[in-house]
């Protein structure tokens, strides 16, 4: 069995789910037992409204609903419908980590890290270079 240790250099921060109706989705996940923060955040640069609920000491469930006209979540919902959109891992230094990943052949979505929800600096690894999973890496500022 794997040891139950915490890896502070790379740990799961959130699982993000794309939804059309934030209130409706939140109610469904609350029925399962999750408790959402009363504060929602609009991330204008990403065209989303977010709602977070803790899953354990570190990981959260993030609901992502389109805000405004455009953005990756709106496009994803139009093509695929609701569902898991990405996994996010917390790292100490997002720029350094992305350089290391690129040197190993991974493809970054953004040339430079950008502002994300919850006062973080983020970048994304393209799903075409991870085996079909969009991965966000995030550094708390
Ligand atoms: N998970 C897995 N695969 C995905 C995906 C996802 N979330 N989104 C797109 N893809 C795949 C598609 O299935 C498609 O594959 P095929 O060519 O085999 O059909 C391919 O990637 C291209 O998809 P697309 O619909 O044409 O999408 P784009 O290329 O326009 O955009 C991406 C894809 C990853 C570059 C875009 O979603 C992006 O820039 N993501 C980063 C930003 C982001 O996701 N923001 C959301 C909010 C973040 C937050 O605040 O938490």
Reduce the DSSP state of residue 45 to 3 states and report it.
Answer: helix
Count of CB atoms situated within 10 Å of the CB of 35: 9
What HEC string does 58-106 produce? CCEEEEEEECCCCCHHHHHHHHHCCEEEEEEEECCCHHHHHHHHHHCCC
Three-state SS at 33: coil
**Ligand 1 centre and the CA of 72: distance in Å?**
6
pLDDT at 37: 95
Instruction: Provide the phi-psi class of 118: left if phi over 0, else alpha when psi is between -120 and 50, else beta.
Output: left
Q: What pLDDT band is residue 13 in, cutting at 50, 70 and 90?
A: very high
Distance CA 48, CA 42 (A): 6
Output the CA 127–ligand 1 centroid distance in Å.
7
CA nearest 115: which of 35, 16, 45? 45
pLDDT, tens digit (0-9, with 9 covering 90-100), for 84-135: 999 999 999 999 999 999 999 999 999 999 988 888 999 999 999 999 999 9
The per-residue pLDDT for range 22-80, each reduced to its tens digit, is: 999 999 999 999 999 999 999 998 999 999 999 999 999 999 999 988 999 999 999 99
Minimal-distance CA residue to ligand 1 atom 18? 128
Going by pLDDT thresholds of 50, 70 and 90, the confidence category of residue 5 is confident
Closest CA to 13 of 140, 108, 129: 140
Percentage of the chain beyond pLDDT 90 is 87
72 in ligand 1 pocket by Cβ < 6 Å? yes
């Amino acid at each position: 069995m794997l040891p139950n240790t915490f890896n502070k250099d790379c740990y799961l921060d959130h699982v993000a789910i794309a939804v059309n109706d934030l209130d409706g989705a939140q109610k469904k996940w609350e029925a399962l037992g999750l408790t959402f923060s009363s504060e929602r955040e609009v991330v204008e640069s990403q065209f989303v409204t977010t709602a977070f609920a803790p899953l354990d000491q570190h990981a959260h469930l993030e609901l992502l609903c389109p805000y405004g006209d455009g953005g990756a979540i709106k496009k994803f919902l139009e093509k695929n419908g609701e569902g898991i959109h990405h996994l996010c891992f917390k790292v100490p230094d997002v720029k350094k980590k992305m350089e290391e990943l690129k040197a190993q052949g991974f493809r970054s979505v953004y040339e430079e890290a950008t502002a994300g929800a919850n006062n973080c600096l983020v970048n994304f690894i393209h799903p075409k270079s991870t085996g079909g999973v969009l991965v966000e890496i995030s550094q708390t500022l």
